Amino acid sequence: MWDNKGSIIFRVQQPLATDTAPLLSVLNHYHQRLENLFLCQQEALVEQRFELASQLLSHYQALLSAHIQLENSLLLPLHEKVEKPRWASSLYLREHEKILTLVSRAKEKLDAAQSEEGRSPRRGAIALLDYQRTIKGVLEHHEQREEQGLVPELSAMLDLSEEIKLAAQLEALWQQSFAERQDALNALLTQLDLDGLSYTTKL
Ligand SMILES: [Fe+2]
Ligand SMILES: [Fe+2]
């Protein structure tokens, strides 16, 4: 296209993510949002603000649980129909249980640390962050499997219109679970930024 001065105008039309890889883009987006929230909780730990970290971890636990529940109920039953999957559906299910158990233990440890005597808050924070490294490692591998195995295998099995419908359903439900907590999360994140550095993270 040319403008009236004879210069060429490039009209770049970004394709909607949902036109190309709808399921992958939705899953990836929510993995990032969850990771972001987990990191905010770790920022609070670094500052030894255990109560704030505990509240952020509670929200993370609930949102992760909602994420996993939908994967279990909407994606894995479909995945069971994939012939010769790279990783079996049962593996994702077992990993989900493991991840929820690890996060639940991390929450218990964090709450116990607040009333722990005889250990400096700094050492307490280090111990908690060390424990959480396991969660981050397990999650990283699990999400890689979902993004390299589960999702591409479902995409290959479904028609594009079916995939778009499924992705929209997941997006709406996950978005709802974040929206229900958005005000509470914003208030906690504002506390995290009270040092005036304003790193406020958009979740
Ligand atoms: Fe998962
Ligand atoms: Fe996931």
Return the CATH number at 52. Answer: 1.20.120.520
pLDDT digits (tens, 9 = 90+) for 123-141: 999 999 999 999 999 999 9
Q: How many domains does the chain have?
A: 1
* d(CA 199, ligand 1 centre) in Å: 28
Distance 68 CA to ligand 2 centre (A): 6
pLDDT band at 110 (very low <50, low <70, confident <90, very high): very high
Residue 135 resides in a domain: yes
Q: Report CA(122)–ligand 2 centroid distance (Å).
A: 32
| pLDDT tens digit sequence for 18-40 | 557 999 999 999 999 999 999 99
Q: Which two tokens stand for residue 71?
A: 């994967």
CA distances 48 to 43, 101, 149, 190, Å, are 9, 24, 38, 16
Range of the domain at 35: 22-190
**φ, ψ at 183 (rounded to 5°):** -65, -45
| pLDDT at position 169 over 60 | yes
Closest ligand to the CA of 31: 2
Nearest C-alpha neighbor of 139 from the set 90, 96, 79, 76: 96
Quote the pTM value. Answer: 0.86
